[in-house]
Amino acid sequence: MNYRFTILVLISIFLYFWRETMYQKMIISQIVAASLNNVIGVHNGLPWKMPNDTAYFKAKTLKHHIVMGRRNYEAEGKALPDRVNIVLTRNRAYQITDGIVVHQIEDAIAIAEKAGEKELFIVGGAKIYKLAMPFTNRIYLTRIHTEVDGDTFYPEPDWDKWKETSKIRHKKDQSNPFDYDFLVYERE
């Protein structure tokens, strides 16, 4: 009797964890670096060189599905390696050989979900951050402590509906010309 009971408990525990793992909802995250005045880009490029932020971006997004706008993709000039690159465009004739082209944000999300992705990263630019905001649960924001001129701005959400869950401050150094904070927000 005790033996059967133990087996039953073990099976229940196994099924519980199996269900938790199988049906874990995919997190949709935005990852962005913005100045104090919310600039994220200028002339279809970044307004700064901050290698530590580039390394942070890489560490977070590597091996994941990432979603970007056609302009951001072309600014990079090619797909980011070791990630599944999904590019959004309205142009039905647009083709690339190193990523997936979609015309709706919902299709990008569906592709990642179908592949069993645990965390999908929205990597910009501004148009795509805005488009994806209603679907987003997490934001990795690098706040660069400078005010710069630019032509592209982060479409910030209503921060009252978000909770800061992590903040790591860094001082400028020889390679990174501005102080910067790695911030993480979760939707409340």
Residue from the set 38, 52, 54, 89 that interacts with ligand NAP by CB under 6 A: 89
Q: Which of 120, 179, 176, 132 is nearest to 157 (CA)?
A: 132
Span of 2-10, 17-25, 126-134, 159-167 interacting with ligand NAP by CB under 6 A = 126-134
Span of 15-23, 42-50, 110-118, 163-171 interacting with ligand NAP by CB under 6 A = 42-50
For position 72 contacting ligand NAP by CB under 6 A, the verdict is yes
8 A C-beta contact, residue 100 and residue 87 = yes
Q: What is the DSSP string of 17-61?
A: HHHHHHTPPPEEEEEEEEETT-EEEBTTB-SS--HHHHHHHHHHH
For position 32 contacting ligand NAP by CB under 6 A, the verdict is yes
Helical H segments across the chain, by residue range:
2-22, 51-61, 70-76, 105-114, 126-132
For position 29 contacting ligand NAP by CB under 6 A, the verdict is no
CB of 178 to ligand NAP, least distance (A): 13
The answer, yes or no, to whether the previous bond of 125 is cis (omega within 30 of 0) is yes
**What whole-number distance in Å separates Cα of residue 167 and Cα of residue 42?**
26
For position 90 contacting ligand NAP by CB under 6 A, the verdict is yes
Residue from the set 75, 111, 148, 183 that interacts with ligand NAP by CB under 6 A: 75
Q: Name every residue whose Cβ is closer than 8 Å to that of residue 25 and which is 6 or more positions away in sequence.
A: none
Distance of CA 96 to the CA centre of its chain: 21
Span of 19-27, 59-67, 122-130, 132-140 interacting with ligand NAP by CB under 6 A = 122-130
Nearer to ligand NAP, 111 or 131 (CB): 131
Q: Write the binding mask 142 to 181 for ligand NAP: x where contact by CB under 6 A, - elsewhere.
A: ----------x-----------------------------
Q: What are the tokens at 83?
A: 């990630």
Where on the chain is the footprint of ligand NAP (CB under 6 A)?
32-33, 40-41, 44-46, 68-72, 75, 88-91, 103, 123-128, 131, 152
